[in-house]
Structure 1
């Protein structure tokens, strides 16, 4: 199992859990849990692999990823009623999954010999596309677009950090860890301290 495979599997399980907990808030049945969990878990990696022309797509090459997503969905179906505040759990799980998925995207792009710009973009896509699909399907405002959320920004920072560090320290352990930490620190700061980018405020022209 390569570093990318291991990172994909880790992010799949955590993203699937967050997706299943969103399904619990929508009061879906077990099939709904499984569908939303799998969509969240493999959506970003699938888009990444299609764009990079990686063949086969990671979860087809390693079906254990689907098994991990289904296991996460089943566990979430059982434990969701015991969670006092599922939205808080979802956001923190999502923060962890985002950090892992971003560097999984970076790792895959580096394996394909991509340029630093493409490496950065693939990290963002891998980290955010699955959650975007989850929110659209569940009729939620996408997390990537919510005011006061450093989400895409955190993914961008993590991807860019990995891409830059990889040029200086080619050891995957170093550049992947640096990217994951950069992403998680920004996302955690947004959740804990309300870190956010300023949003646009329209000032109508004075007559």
Structure 2
């Protein structure tokens, strides 16, 4: 079970990430005017999609939420409550971005830690952190026919890379105390994503060069 692999700090981070991603899925469902069952479906997939893929690739048996069914209850309750309160939240898209940013930063750290606990290299752990943080949201956006945040110009996956990467560097290489590493890595990933939201920061996109330019 996931609880036996990671320490209590990261365990609670995982639960917090589950809540905020389930809420973010519910907020997308609200924008699409879906029913409560769809809220629960979208919220649950958003919350557990990335972790499920990570555990399958790492060969974890059983997959985290199968061995810890309370995670499904957390998803169900969080998404269902969102159904009843989403209509009183103004600027739903802005709330979605902030909820998603928190979940992104949380799950990037959790994914990297779970991978390290299974003996992967630092590079693989970073990849698993990014996958944990982004894959559930990708499935959410596909189901709801939204343009995925990963494919938008604003910095998104980059924040997950930096969050997971900073955690791996601090714990695997610099031997920083894990609770401190968790706090710093989460804060780093969240701040980078927050700055991207507020200031609409993005990395330079590819620009096709004209054949007549000579370059």
What TM-score do you get using the length of structure 1 for normalisation?
Answer: 0.95
Alignment partner for residue 198 of structure 1, among 204, 207, 210? 204
Q: CA deviation at 1:145?
A: 0.5
Alignment partner for residue 173 of structure 1, among 171, 179, 196? 179
Q: Size of the alignment, in residue pairs?
A: 206
2:190 is the counterpart of 1:184: yes
Other-structure match for 2:32: 26
Native 8 Å contact 1:165 1:178 kept in 2: no
Native 8 Å contact 1:8 1:45 kept in 2: no
Q: CA deviation at 1:104?
A: 0.7
2:157 is the counterpart of 1:152: yes
Other-structure match for 2:167: 162
Structure 1: segments with no counterpart, 5+ residues? none
Other-structure match for 1:43: 49
Q: Deviations over 1:42-100 (max 9, x none)?
A: 00100110111111111111111110111111111011111111000000000001111
Distance in 1 of aligned mates of 2:196 and 2:212 = 35
Distance in 2 of aligned mates of 1:123 and 1:178 = 15
Please give the secondary structure, in 2, of the residue aligned with 1:76: helix
2:81 is the counterpart of 1:69: no
Please give the secondary structure, in 1, of the residue aligned with 2:212: coil
Distance in 1 of aligned mates of 2:116 and 2:45 = 25
Distance in 1 of aligned mates of 2:187 and 2:91 = 25
Q: Deviations over 1:105-156 (max 9, x none)?
A: 0110121121111111111000000000000111111110012x11110000
Other-structure match for 1:5: 11
Structure 2: segments with no counterpart, 5+ residues? none
Q: CA deviation at 1:170?
A: 4.6
Runs of 4+ more than 4 Å apart: none
RMSD (Å), alpha carbons: 1.3
What TM-score do you get using the length of structure 2 for normalisation?
Answer: 0.92
2:58 is the counterpart of 1:52: yes
Other-structure match for 1:84: 90
Q: Deviations over 1:167-199 (max 9, x none)?
A: 212522122222211111110010011221011
2:127 is the counterpart of 1:121: yes
Distance in 2 of aligned mates of 1:126 and 1:155 = 9
Other-structure match for 1:105: 111
